[in-house]
């Protein structure tokens, strides 16, 4: 997925691995936002859980399949 920095407007691409890790973190901590640091201005951008779910619709399914083993 890709977001745009709220501060400097630089596009930031987020790999699927990072999206998955973020969803893991959010679900474990019962959080609603994940913080992505802009590589250019170093400011924090908040990405909502909803945005992450949208970027990785199979996250939950794949995690459940994994935990069965």
List interacting residues with Zn ion (CB under 5 A). Answer: 5, 7-8, 10, 38, 40-41
Q: How far is the CB of 51 from Zn ion (least distance, A)?
A: 17
The tally of CA atoms less than 13 A away on the side-chain side of residue 60 is 9
Q: How far is the CB of 11 from Zn ion (least distance, A)?
A: 10
Which of 52, 18, 14, 15 is closest to 33 using CA atoms? 52
Q: How far is the CB of 8 from Zn ion (least distance, A)?
A: 3
Kindly tell me which of 4 and 60 has the beta carbon lying closer to Zn ion: 4
The DSSP bridge pattern shows strands 2-4 and 33-37 to be unpaired
């Amino acid at each position: 997925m890709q977001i745009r920095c709220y501060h400097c407007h630089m596009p930031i691409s987020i790999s699927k691995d990072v999206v998955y890790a973020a969803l893991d973190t959010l679900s474990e901590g019962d959080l609603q936002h994940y913080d992505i640091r802009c590589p250019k201005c170093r400011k924090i951008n908040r990405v909502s859980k909803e945005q992450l779910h949208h970027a990785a619709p199979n996250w939950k399914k794949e995690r459940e399949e994994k935990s069965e083993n």
